[in-house]
Structure 1
Amino acid sequence: MNFKTVSGKIYDGDNFLKLSDVRYLPRWIVILIDVILIAISLFISYFVVAKLNVSPATFLKFYQKFFIILGVNLGFMFWFRTYSGIIRHSTFVDLWKIFLTCFSTGLTLTVISYISLWFFGHKLFFIPILFIYFALSFTSLFVFRLVVKEFFQIIREMKNDRQRTNILILEIGESSVAIARAIIANPNVPYSLKGFVTSRKDSTRALLLGKKIYTRRLIEKSTKEELGLDGVIIIKELISPADLESWVSLFLEKDLKIFKSPSVQKFRDNDFAQSIKSLQIEDLLNRKAIKIDNEAIQPRHLGKTILVTGGAGSIGSEIVRQVAKFSPACIVVLDQAETPLYDIELEMLESFPKIRFEFILADISNRHRLEPVFQKYNFSMVYHAAAYKHVPLVEKNPHEAILVNILGTKNLSNLSSKYKVNRFVMISTDKAVNPTNVMGASKRSAELYVQSLQNIEGNVTKFITTRFGNVLGSNGSVIPHFKRQIEAGGPITVTHKDIVRYFMTIQEACELVLQAGTMGKGGEIFVFDMGQPVKIVELAKRMIRLSGLKPDEDIDIVFTGLRPGEKLYEELLSDDSKTQPTHHSGIMISKDPSANFEEITKLTNLITKAALRRDNADIVVILKKIVPEFKSQNSVFEKLDI
């Protein structure tokens, strides 16, 4: 908004003038104000000298000297362009221009005075007046710009405060103070810092960066409105899981928004505002940070050709991303889902332009399609992530699970052994342990077949199985489902009030897959540390509160009953298995019972034929022979256990 727009608003009767919207004043107004200031400075200079009873001799009248001084000063203003900058954005350069203008004016007038003394016998200007004038004019011009700049800064802050979120920062350590400084110094962040909050009791009267330090007790006994707060910023890395749980419970109870910020070292100035995000339910699952040994993993992939089956899925695509970081010669991404495969192709070609990729559309149950792929590429490692995994759907379509989860795994593992692939890493699931559904039993059958290949004559491939629980954010997982239900206004549907599950992020699950694939010697089933199980109904309530809503008031929770094949508790180890530790604290080796190669081959051939006949009852009967601990639950196949 320029001056003409401002005058138009006033003329039109809009007297509510938003000063922060005024972009700049016309240059002639800036010059006029500057001339008025230097004129006042000149009057004051003569007034001060007059009060000292000093009457220098001169042959010019006062108004003549007045216009000469102003004329010289105005000339240097134009010379140094002191009027050209936008006042509110004045910098040291503008201050330097003012100094040069005033200094040059005083120097020029002094020279003129001594020339007058040389030719006419007396000075044109009294030198002390020029010194006083220099000091006053420089000060007045500088103060004018400083006042305008500070005025607009105050107006801007007042405007921004109305639009910003009033927040506290948790704790008063160095990292918290660094985040606070960054917020205060950055006018673009949508947060207004009101202070800090701590559990310490020795800081109640202190100020930090001029801001109040709130105690936990004050937060507990005050309402959100009394505190004048909207939210709290947490630096998650600095807080123990137990303390995080306690603080989050308090903040949610007070209906405060919870934001998370990385430590200052982890973000750059240009993305500071984007670095502070709302706390997600994934942050509250008490997962320990997992560290992997990149020095051991990289040699297994550097310059090698890698196959990832199911490479367009949530787990497979993350394996592709992580493997690409280790500079392999080629990554072959195989999947039967056309659109997701095309999506991962676009992503990988953009993210890793120097890595060679091959994207193959194929069904792993078709050995005739797979064998030419193994013939063409000399695979060093195969990551087998392709599988049908949704329990209720597989329970209704057992034959499809057999063709993909068992026959597909059989095809890939046989070809890996035949073409002497160095390592074959299979992705399994905790649902394979004491399975209660077809999906889990089919994955356990695949585990048994892969293990049985390890010791057959002529095999050089190391067959490795990795087993873990639910993966946060994967296709069909509960958290994205709950988020969609909350966004739709509810209700959230939970199958049972007592159901619990283990959770792990996609990234850490895939990191552990790579680590286990590196450390495996062949025949092992690696089990990952999944942390503590989470009660799904509590997960739902937390997600509702983190969305700023209240369970059973804003969003209802409805219990729908266990789905076919679903059980209340998942297990990572079978009853008769033993574990042994590895050098990685997050990975154990499960010593599950194994199967004889000839026997498991015979049974998998039988079940494949049953699947091709679509004989679901026969399929489940054979599955129960392969996996004796498989007991159907909440399923039409329960009668087969009688």
Structure 2
Amino acid sequence: MKLILRIFQKFIHNLLKKLLELKNTHLLVFDIIIFSITPLLTLIIRLDGSLALQAHISQLGIATLLLLVVKLIVFWSFGFYRRYWRYASVEELTYIAMLMVAAIVIQNMAFNVLYHILPFVIDTLPRSLPLIDGLLSCIFIGMLRFSFRVVERFIQRQGVFNPRERVLIIGAGSAGVSLVQDMQSNPKLGFHAVAFIDDDPRKLNVQIRGIPVVGDRYQIPDTLKSLQIHKVIIAMPTVAGHVIREIVDICKATGIQTSTLPGIYEILNDRVRVDSIRDIRIEDLLRREPIQTDIEQVHKFIKGKTVLITGAGGSIGSELCRQILKCHPAEIILMGHGENSVFNIQQELEQLIQILKNARKAQRYSPRICTFIGDIRYSDRLKQAFEQFQPNVIFHAAAHKHVPLMELNSPEAITNNVLGTKNLLDMALQYNVQNFVMISTDKAVNPTNVMGASKRVAEMLVLQAAKQSGKPYVVVRFGNVLGSRGSVVPTFKKQIASGGPVTVTHPDICRYFMTIPEAVQLVLQAAVLNRGGQVLMLNMGEPVKIVDLAKELIRLSGYEINKDIDIVFTGLRPGEKLFEELFIEGEHYENTEHEKLFLVKNASQIIPNNLHNTVEALLRAASKNDTDLLMLLLLQVVPGYKHKSLESPIKYTNMSTAQVTMMSNVKTKGA
């Protein structure tokens, strides 16, 4: 019996699938049949079902032909038979109604003309025939078209031949509904949405796309058990990290697999799909409330311009490329000295452009993606790039940023971060680049390491260039970004994958964190504020203990702390602080139009008068690998700079900046 039932179900399934394959030519035949029948049905309704229709039959044939021709002309003229009805929605229903209203108006006009010119042709028919016929035709045509959606939903709901995981969706908002819609439209993906969980009491016990909202987050354990759930998907891309952590803890206690949609910054301008689902990441647990950016203003700022991005293959640079691409620039120049990373982001952008074209979102838009392999420390190579591309906007993300490595290789930090920025600014001014945005770091605030001090000097160079030229050149300063190359999160992941231990320098060490997409959105927002010669600082929220970060990553990986994976404290590294600072003494901060961006109002007023000479001396010391002199020059030019290794060149510490600069000149000449 089960075999017979299964064969019958298979037959019905295939029959319904054939129905979905009907083309518009087939529908035209059905429409002609409907239009031929509706006048007769109209007359029966009008005469209250009376069988005395013989007196009207001859004239009914003429009226039927007239109404049929009018409706076919109207429908054909407005492209009705060029529509694809498998995905018909409210828009298509409105479209049918509008066409039928037009047909009814024309039918009534035609009937009135015939009544006056040839009354004997249709004089026995009721005047309401065109109106009632039009209404019936609209109902039948709509039912026929929307039967495609009904049949498709029926096939999707069966799931007889495709065993699927029973899924609980956390979040009955637009993201959750889009996710369910994608699951229902693609049963072969293997997901069957069983229920929603949502904290909004207004949604409790309602059904969305046939899926019930069964309770709030505290009902998750009972729901998982009663509905035999196999998988939980968190579909709340805008919710704060503490909510995600609570839900993850609840689900983890039950042993059910939990996944999530990315945060809003990762899916910006993209549709939520099943293939967007991924494992829970540390970024999700540290996610903050979404930041409202003026996307239209950023789009207007970038559109049609040639944008040069240094360090384009890096974490921040590559995300800048992705988000700038969506703002329709004329050209993006990917500059970097690492050929593999530049190649990778170039391929990714080209693929994204093709996706946009295929989705018909590009509207003939095809930005040029150009690559330029070069080191910003070489001005001759930079000059070739500016000659060739003539950029309008520069986003300067290239830098050496690894604190311990730069302590051991301080001349490299100076030549890349200081000389590279100086060369870039010289070219920008020479070629009249209108906008320049430098990515800086919170380590430039009261630095205790060469990397932070070198970035502070680079900041001063940008501010000085803006002050002298009057151009809107700005610095954007922010803290650590989660998942960037060389940052703590990838390091912890590697240590966990190898079985531990996870190494943390100090139990109290804290850092400010921000996700890469979030940071880049704020960088773009800072670029359009047009505050030349000033530093814009991102609101980094509350600092996070690194040891807490390590614990969360261990738990996310499915291990127990100090049982499966140990945490070992190794001591602070050279140049490393316990707590990063955001404010420099003497700088004045104020709010901007954007709540997450602060302005250092007097940043350009605290630049040393002899900055040019000191920078030249720094570069000479770096070229001669004179680290002692290099440290002293940084001490003289960077306010708040403190370095533990300054005991070795103690004989220079009482010298003025001019004396240290003179000393560097003498040493250089002597060499």
User: TM-score, normalised to structure 2's length?
Assistant: 0.65
Does residue 554 (structure 1) correspond to residue 555 (structure 2)? The answer is no
Taking a change above 3 Å as real, the CA distance of residues 441 and 242 of structure 1, as seen in their structure-2 partners, is same
Does residue 369 (structure 1) correspond to residue 381 (structure 2)? The answer is yes
Match of 1:539 among 533, 549, 566: 549
2:248 corresponding residue in structure 1: 248
**Deviation by residue 1:342-376 (Cα, 9 ceiling, x = unmatched):** 33333334434722233222221122222343344
| Residue 567 of structure 1: how far off its partner (Å) | 1.2
1:276 corresponding residue in structure 2: 277
Same amino acid, percent of matched pairs? 38
2:345 corresponding residue in structure 1: 344
Give yes or no for contact 1:580–1:588 (8 Å, CA) kept in 2. yes
2:630 corresponding residue in structure 1: 619
1:423 corresponding residue in structure 2: 435
Instruction: Give the distance between the partners of 1:223 and 1:352, measured in 2 at CA.
Output: 43
| Residue 501 of structure 1: how far off its partner (Å) | 1.5
Matches within 5 A, 1:160-559: 160=163, 164=165, 167-170=167-170, 187-191=187-191, 213=214, 231-237=231-237, 239=239, 241-261=241-261, 272-352=273-353, 354-456=366-468, 459-559=469-569
| Residue 622 of structure 1: how far off its partner (Å) | 0.7
Structure 1, unpaired ranges of 5+: 1-18, 31-84, 96-148
Taking a change above 3 Å as real, the CA distance of residues 365 and 272 of structure 1, as seen in their structure-2 partners, is closer
Structure 2, unpaired ranges of 5+: 20-153, 355-365, 654-671
Larger RCO, structure (CA 8 Å, separation 6 or more):
1
Instruction: Give the distance between the partners of 1:304 and 1:182, measured in 2 at CA.
Output: 37
Instruction: Give the distance between the partners of 1:318 and 1:304, measured in 2 at CA.
Output: 18
Q: In the alignment, residue 533 of structure 1 is paired with which amino acid?
A: P
**Deviation by residue 1:273-318 (Cα, 9 ceiling, x = unmatched):** 3233322221121323233323333343333322222222221222
Q: In the alignment, residue 388 of structure 1 is paired with which amino acid?
A: H
| Residue 603 of structure 1: how far off its partner (Å) | 0.5
Taking a change above 3 Å as real, the CA distance of residues 515 and 192 of structure 1, as seen in their structure-2 partners, is closer
Taking a change above 3 Å as real, the CA distance of residues 575 and 177 of structure 1, as seen in their structure-2 partners, is same
The structure with the larger Rg is 1
Match of 1:87 among 1, 7, 11: 11
Instruction: Give the distance between the partners of 2:218 and 2:386, measured in 1 at CA.
Output: 66
State the SS of the aligned residue for 2:309. Answer: strand
Give yes or no for contact 1:580–1:590 (8 Å, CA) kept in 2. yes
State the SS of the aligned residue for 1:490. Answer: coil
2:71 corresponding residue in structure 1: none
Instruction: Give the distance between the partners of 1:325 and 1:537, measured in 2 at CA.
Output: 37
| Residue 153 of structure 1: how far off its partner (Å) | 6.4
Give yes or no for contact 2:395–2:436 (8 Å, CA) kept in 1. yes
Give yes or no for contact 1:391–1:566 (8 Å, CA) kept in 2. yes
1:602 corresponding residue in structure 2: 613
Taking a change above 3 Å as real, the CA distance of residues 638 and 591 of structure 1, as seen in their structure-2 partners, is farther
Instruction: Give the distance between the partners of 1:431 and 1:546, measured in 2 at CA.
Output: 29
Taking a change above 3 Å as real, the CA distance of residues 582 and 182 of structure 1, as seen in their structure-2 partners, is same
Count of matched residue positions in the alignment of Structure 1 and Structure 2: 499
Instruction: Give the distance between the partners of 2:427 and 2:473, measured in 1 at CA.
Output: 12
Taking a change above 3 Å as real, the CA distance of residues 153 and 364 of structure 1, as seen in their structure-2 partners, is closer
Instruction: Give the distance between the partners of 2:583 and 2:179, measured in 1 at CA.
Output: 44
| Residue 609 of structure 1: how far off its partner (Å) | 0.5
Q: In the alignment, residue 425 of structure 2 is paired with which amino acid?
A: S
Instruction: Give the distance between the partners of 2:525 and 2:268, measured in 1 at CA.
Output: 28
Q: In the alignment, residue 527 of structure 2 is paired with which amino acid?
A: G
Give yes or no for contact 1:190–1:273 (8 Å, CA) kept in 2. no
Q: In the alignment, residue 282 of structure 2 is paired with which amino acid?
A: I
Give yes or no for contact 2:182–2:274 (8 Å, CA) kept in 1. no
Cα RMSD (Å):
4.1
2:42 corresponding residue in structure 1: none
| Residue 439 of structure 1: how far off its partner (Å) | 0.1
| Residue 448 of structure 1: how far off its partner (Å) | 1.2
| Residue 249 of structure 1: how far off its partner (Å) | 3.2
User: TM-score, normalised to structure 1's length?
Assistant: 0.67
Give yes or no for contact 2:418–2:455 (8 Å, CA) kept in 1. yes
**Deviation by residue 1:139-175 (Cα, 9 ceiling, x = unmatched):** xxxxxxxxxx99x969757xx36xx3x5544367797
Deviates more, 1:434-443 or 1:496-505: 496-505
Instruction: Give the distance between the partners of 2:645 and 2:504, measured in 1 at CA.
Output: 22
Q: In the alignment, residue 258 of structure 1 is paired with which amino acid?
A: T
Instruction: Give the distance between the partners of 1:368 and 1:154, measured in 2 at CA.
Output: 65
Taking a change above 3 Å as real, the CA distance of residues 441 and 561 of structure 1, as seen in their structure-2 partners, is same
Taking a change above 3 Å as real, the CA distance of residues 417 and 487 of structure 1, as seen in their structure-2 partners, is same
